[in-house]
Structure 1
């Protein structure tokens, strides 16, 4: 069954309940301040579309943080409600809880147009995918919209089970539509040469995506702490770089595979005696004793640039080093610059929280083909070709 999107729905005079991903980062010292509004900004297109096409009411749902099924003040959606009200130039009413008795009354009042339910994860039933909880949420709307791509890999009540109560009345939002369209270019038939860049901390976290990509890519460029188990598994010294026995064993297994030759590893490094300390360039693959690798070196960046030249599809997930520290950001920002200069016939997809943060920090996000809002969700979609929240929308639940 084809997935239906909101632009195929008749919204006239309908109450719409919509799941978004407003799981935005908040200031550690002042949780009333949102430090990156990207996920809310990406949702505005769907929200405006719903109202511009005749909906009478809109109930918004989201989670924020990990409150573990109970109300936690620092995870309140109040900053999100305030930001939405500013951007939409209208009142956004925040309920006291997702099951507040006053919600149905508010929905019957003419002046209340937009209602944001308090954090759905304040209820333990959300993450348990509880049917009764989903049924109560479903009572707020005539039509259900899922635009929470970043949470579509979760089988939770507001992303999965709620579909059971909206047979032929469940739709994907416009952000979900863009995400699926972009990821399909990676999953279904990527134009070749196809180059993937994978960084981050642990091989064990990304073993499945690496194995999935190896069968399709021309080259798989490895950076960040991810590189050190591969170098160790290849017989090189890695000093005190981040590494564990499990990751070394996984790296050996991957390198032995038929497609293992597609993996490209750093040939030089930027190191330090301590995490984030004084930098030292190591001009070969072997890292001396007492030093830890914290970024790829300049020769590696040149090699990666050469491997990326002529690519028609590029997937980037994970930084090349400790990019939050300016001293160790050259590798990551260098990759961002290379991708931003890619010719128009090359499709570049940036997926994963740290890579997205890096292209935003570098001011180059607008020059990428697509910057995914879902870290774990985008990886899982590439790995499996579907996600529970999308499958539930497509096929419905009984």
Structure 2
């Protein structure tokens, strides 16, 4: 039976079509962190799109139109979310002039003509109400300025928006960019052709956001390692009093069923045995390490402890494929980041095929200085999560397929 991953891997890539003399619209993901002064603090997503953009330039596309969103504006123009912040960095990376288009509808005629070697960057596509609504009229307006549509925005490929989904109804040639194909190939290797044993490391705050992942992936893995605040719900289900620690009372029974499911599939299940606790997350005065059964009144878990790190590291050391999604604690606060960073070092030092599921985990790996020691770091948090859950992402759904 062909899996959903194999189905997505069967779409055509930009390399399999002729872009020469064509107007190419590339949906990129330039949703990068920008500080209050408009400075980009992490340009990894821009760098990830360069191979597709440069391929189209090198193969004589007559014009290249880059479409992206930035942040989540609530209605119309917001200066802090303007893609003007991206323009100069992109020009330096491409070593080429990039023309910024404030209103693509007003510039329709100019962009619709074939202008050899021109690269256009459209203003934040989410400033248009039709984008998130997947409005057919808006989708058609985007389609009217191109001959070829290339989706290379893996980070938004789980969204049915006009620029990631609706536009495909109105363009004859629609293919995936190199980043999209790299993402699918990486997860295909980890899930469809893994070198066993395969370990899934899951963290973050809520079990409710990862129930589908935990239940759907269970038959494919050998070990499940759970940390972060979501582990508190599992510990509560085992009868431990987590006191003021964050946990989801409504999902305690769900946690029990997940553990039963793991037992049914002979999956080794790992939970924290100790943790870092504090009297206050915002203004910590008392921070200490304690076993999970001895959480003090008025205290809460904020990171995994040294014994847990040793337990998790040993499980990781004996794994040949490792997928990691979710930090082990509140890594954004220095005092509570050790567990996440040391786990990143342990995974990075392993000889396994290692893949990070984007979002906060990718950020933590970067901050830990371990990004070069991982086999693959995904650019999509929500997209990689849905992909791990076994879903076909909308961004792949309507692209042209390779001939069988």
Q: State the TM-score, normalized to the length of structure 2.
A: 0.92
Q: 1:279 to 1:394 in 2, by over 3 A?
A: farther
Aligned residue among 156, 159, 164 for 2:169:
164
Q: CA deviation at 1:81?
A: 1.4
Q: 1:326 to 1:260 in 2, by over 3 A?
A: farther
Q: CA deviation at 1:288?
A: 2.1
Report SS of the residue matched to 2:48: helix
Q: How many residues align?
A: 390
Aligned residue among 329, 354, 357 for 2:363:
357
Q: CA deviation at 1:190?
A: 2.5
Report SS of the residue matched to 1:204: coil
Matches within 5 A, 1:75-86: 75-86=81-92
Q: State the partner residue of 1:314.
A: 322
Q: 1:308 to 1:374 in 2, by over 3 A?
A: same
Q: State the partner residue of 2:334.
A: 326
Report SS of the residue matched to 1:86: helix
Q: State the partner residue of 2:32.
A: 24
The answer to whether the aligner puts 1:215 opposite 2:223 as a matched pair is no
In 2, are the aligned partners of 1:59 and 1:115 still within 8 Å (CA)?
A: yes
In 1, are the aligned partners of 2:222 and 2:267 still within 8 Å (CA)?
A: no
Report SS of the residue matched to 1:393: coil
Q: CA deviation at 1:395?
A: 5.8
Q: Distance in 2 between matches of 1:210 and 1:112?
A: 47
Aligned residue among 133, 140, 153 for 1:128:
133
Q: CA deviation at 1:166?
A: 2.2
Q: CA deviation at 1:285?
A: 3.6
In 1, are the aligned partners of 2:356 and 2:377 still within 8 Å (CA)?
A: yes
Q: Distance in 1 between matches of 2:275 and 2:289?
A: 6
Q: CA deviation at 1:8?
A: 1.0
Aligned residue among 210, 234, 240 for 1:230:
234
Provide structure 1 residue ranges, at least 5 long, that are not aligned to the other structure: none
In 2, are the aligned partners of 1:11 and 1:55 still within 8 Å (CA)?
A: yes
The answer to whether the aligner puts 1:141 opposite 2:149 as a matched pair is no
Which ranges of 4 or more aligned residues in structure 1 deviate by more than 4 Å? 109-112
Q: CA deviation at 1:283?
A: 3.3
Matches within 5 A, 1:169-208: 169-208=173-212
The answer to whether the aligner puts 1:281 opposite 2:289 as a matched pair is yes
Q: CA deviation at 1:357?
A: 0.3
Q: Distance in 1 between matches of 2:112 and 2:215?
A: 49
Q: CA deviation at 1:43?
A: 0.5
Q: State the partner residue of 1:243.
A: 247
Q: Distance in 1 between matches of 2:94 and 2:336?
A: 39
Report SS of the residue matched to 1:197: strand
Q: State the partner residue of 1:33.
A: 39
Report SS of the residue matched to 2:61: coil
Q: State the partner residue of 1:59.
A: 65
In 2, are the aligned partners of 1:97 and 1:119 still within 8 Å (CA)?
A: no
Q: Distance in 2 between matches of 1:204 and 1:185?
A: 27
Q: 1:159 to 1:317 in 2, by over 3 A?
A: same
Render the CA deviation track for 1:194-246: whole Å, top value 9, x for unaligned: 10110000110111111122222111111110111110010012121012312
Q: Distance in 2 between matches of 1:108 and 1:216?
A: 50
Q: CA deviation at 1:108?
A: 3.6
In 2, are the aligned partners of 1:126 and 1:157 still within 8 Å (CA)?
A: yes
Provide structure 2 residue ranges, at least 5 long, that are not aligned to the other structure: 1-6
Q: State the partner residue of 1:371.
A: 377
Q: Distance in 2 between matches of 1:280 and 1:384?
A: 40
In 1, are the aligned partners of 2:221 and 2:267 still within 8 Å (CA)?
A: no
Q: 1:186 to 1:321 in 2, by over 3 A?
A: same
In 1, are the aligned partners of 2:66 and 2:120 still within 8 Å (CA)?
A: yes
In 2, are the aligned partners of 1:294 and 1:322 still within 8 Å (CA)?
A: yes
In 2, are the aligned partners of 1:98 and 1:120 still within 8 Å (CA)?
A: no
In 2, are the aligned partners of 1:214 and 1:260 still within 8 Å (CA)?
A: no
Q: CA deviation at 1:22?
A: 0.8
In 2, are the aligned partners of 1:95 and 1:103 still within 8 Å (CA)?
A: no
Q: CA deviation at 1:259?
A: 4.2
In 2, are the aligned partners of 1:255 and 1:261 still within 8 Å (CA)?
A: no
Q: CA deviation at 1:251?
A: 1.3
